[in-house]
Amino acid sequence: MSWRRACLPLAMIMAAITAGIGSGDARAFELPFGAKKVGQRISDAITELDVVGARRLFAENPGVAQRMPFQRARLAIYVGDCDSAEAILSTLDASRDVNRMSRLATQCAGAVAGSHIVEDKKNGIWIRFQDARDEVLMPYLVPVIAATRISLERDLGVVLPRPLRIDLVRDLFSLAAVSGLPVEAAETTGTVAVARWGRVTMITPRATPNGYPWEDTLAHEMTHLALSRGTRDHAPLWLQEGIAKRQEQRWREARPFDGGDAADRVAWNALQSGTSVGVDSLGPSIAMLDSADAAGIAFAEVKSFIAYWIERNGPAALQLFFADLRGLGRDEVNRALRSTSGYGLSQWILRWQLWLEKKYDTQPSADPELLVAAVTRPPGLIGRTPRQRYRLGELMYREGHFLSAVDEYALTAEDPTGLRYRAAQAQAATGIRGDELLATLGPQDALSGLHGGWFGLYGRGLFERGEPSQGARAWDLARSTHPYGDDVACLGYDRQAPAPSHWGPSLNDWRPLCAAARQIPR
């Protein structure tokens, strides 16, 4: 399954809900002028993820609180208390907003029933694990969240609330139930995480056969929450997704396959081929575009556009833009843009497109050598197709015929990374170690992409060669994409062979994850 990230801005979906004065809470119309001001402050506090402030306002104004049940239900959703939200909403007269929120509360309550909540008060983190077995990820989640907090405060000037709430769910259906994102939309674009209702909801990496970049995904979704907080949820979708794409790697050091200027090139190729989605034509959500390819192009376009805008105007202008949006509202995006950068959106899009043209118009659209490699096959494959040899190697490996599996794994241009990994895995099962294992894996710069299993075995080879710090870095990279892979969780040891127990006290924390990985049926 391909994976994507998505955010559905609340202001777009709940446009009629302001300070409880809307169809969702008819009794709010009876509030006197002063109480309506309090109601607006409560609504704003919830939107800005200021749970403490909203609760304080409710406590200080009990009369207003009693006459704003819809906002009390909304606050309950924000703190993950779906049962209370469901109970409150069941007392209200039916309306479009009440019905929508009631469905969400009911589905959410059912999905999280029996979930396991872990709270790290020191770091201000609240995580609800739909499957308690995923709690083994807690030691790996906390550092990502902490580092992302710091990067968001540094780059955006936004301090995320404590606790930050995260739901880790089992599958796509639970993601839809907890977030309200339609299942069909998530399936179409391959969405694995959503930032809505004051929380990040993310599918566990155990749900996908080869994992996905869950660390960067978490950073991406946390950025959406920061933007909702910093702009009072008035950020347009192109700004939300562009900044989120930019921030998903800024919390950490550079890694292999980060992409470089890939977003610029994808955006330029889309403009040239007529497949551009358009920075200002994203609709209600990238998750609701008509294909995964369209979603990929849209993400590239907004990332490229935002990087260009920030490069021309600077981080200070970005924070001023947030402040203007916070005060002016979603309908005044062009006014906010002009006040902070001198041009409106359509003018900035044109300037960005001209910049792409200048950057790429004289360059070839693709590397000719890569095109040749894509259609060339190495010798020695007469009699079986690469796919047949790969499948036969899989069967040989599962039956324990490791040397025969090595013979069948042929390196082809179709999937050199996966086949190098499988060949090295089979050889490791026969006793190959250290330098010999690394030789079979091949050089890192020959990989076609980030592969958790490959880096898991690579870490093992480095460790056996006497390079423990480099091995640890390889394992960290492997866990960032496929923490439940056997070769990843168990430091390069597949379930066919027991992992050694003498790899030093600094690596003790890997054993619970290894045990959890080996319990997953393959």
Q: 481: which 2 tokens? A: 């994409």
Q: Which of 112, 130, 163 is the last residue of a domain?
A: 112
Note the pLDDT of residue 408.
53
Strand partners, 235: none
Total structural domains within the chain: 2
Tell me if 174 is assigned to some domain: no
The single-letter DSSP state of residue 500 is P
- Whose tokens are 């001001």? That residue is 37
Q: Whole domain around residue 428: which residue ranges?
A: 373-518
Rounded to 5 degrees, what are φ and ψ at 167?
A: -105, 125
Phi, psi of 370 (to 5 degrees): -65, -40
The whole-number pLDDT of residue 401 equals: 54
Cβ contact 74:1 at 8 Å: no
Q: Which residues contact 443 (CB under 8 A, 6 or more apart)?
A: none
Q: Assess contact for 492 and 480: CB atoms under 8 A.
A: no
Which of 44, 77, 112 is the endpoint of a domain? 112
| Cα(158)–Cα(396) distance, integer angstroms | 54
List pLDDT tens digits, range 400-458.
Answer: 555 555 555 544 444 567 778 888 888 888 888 899 999 989 888 888 788 999 999 99
Closest CA to 489 of 468, 467, 517: 517
Residue 411 lies in a domain: yes
Asked if residue 148 is part of any domain, the answer here is no
Model pLDDT, residue 220: 95
pTM for the full model?
0.83
Q: Is residue 320 part of a domain?
A: no
What are the distances in angstroms from CA 460 to CA 153, 434, 452? 36, 7, 13
- pLDDT, residue 22, reads 37
- Per-residue pLDDT of 189-209, as tens digits, reads 678 899 999 999 999 999 888
The residue from 91, 112, 133 where one domain ends is: 112
- The span from the CA of 330 to the CA of 520, in Å, is 46
Average confidence (pLDDT) per 10 residues, the chain, 522 residues: 46 39 40 69 93 94 89 94 95 91 94 94 96 95 97 96 95 90 76 92 91 94 96 94 94 88 89 91 82 86 96 94 91 92 94 92 49 32 47 57 54 60 84 90 84 93 91 93 92 73 58 90 76
In a domain, 417, yes or no: yes
In a domain, 360, yes or no: no
Indicate which CATH number applies to the domain containing 510: 1.25.40
- Looking at residue 497, its pLDDT comes to 65
Count Cβ atoms below 10 Å from residue 359 Cβ, excluding itself: 14
Distances from the Cα of 121 to the Cαs of 105, 126, 143, 165, in angstroms?
26, 8, 14, 12
Taking the C-alpha atoms of residue 213 and residue 218, their distance in angstroms, rounded to an integer, is 9
Identify whether 241 is part of a domain. no
Q: What is the pLDDT of residue 187?
A: 76
Any domain includes 99: yes
Q: Which residues pair with 485 in a beta bridge?
A: none
